Amino acid sequence: MNFFSWRIIGKRINAIRFMMADKTVPKRKKLLVVAGIVYLFLPFDIIPAVLFPIAWVDDLIVWIWIIWHLRDTLDTYWMGEKTVDPAVRYKGKRIIDGADFKVEDER
């Protein structure tokens, strides 16, 4: 898949929130996104903030690397390939206890 398309990069950025909300994603991938956000707001950078337009280059490089590293995971969210498994959400919980039901065929 083409990585340097602005449309694809935008969709991958939007998919980050869905990836962060998913409990099945490994914590190391979520930690990578959190570390990128922390680096974005840190007062010190590799390129000092005095060089205003150029100072964002290091932040941009860090986020391009993060998106490139998580590209396969992020693609599953914006391409609709991620299936939701309700068993993970309700694991260990008893939703209906002691209910009797009967399925009838309507032919």
Write the pLDDT tens digit of every residue in 88-101: 666 777 666 667 77
Is pLDDT above 70 for 4?
A: no
Task: Give how far Cα 71 sits from Cα of 19, 25, 29, 30, Å.
Answer: 11, 13, 11, 13
Q: Dihedral angle at the C-alpha atoms of 87, 89, 90, 95, nearest 10 degrees?
A: -110
Q: What is the pLDDT of residue 101?
A: 72
10 Å CB burial of residue 73 (0-12, 13-18, 19+) is middle
**Tens digit of each residue's pLDDT (9 = 90 or more) over 20-78:** 988 888 999 999 999 999 888 877 777 776 777 777 788 888 888 999 999 888 888 87
Tokens of 41: 């707001």
Q: For residue 40, how many C-alpha atoms fall within 13 Å in the half-sphere facing its CB?
A: 12
Task: Say what the pLDDT of residue 58 is.
Answer: 82
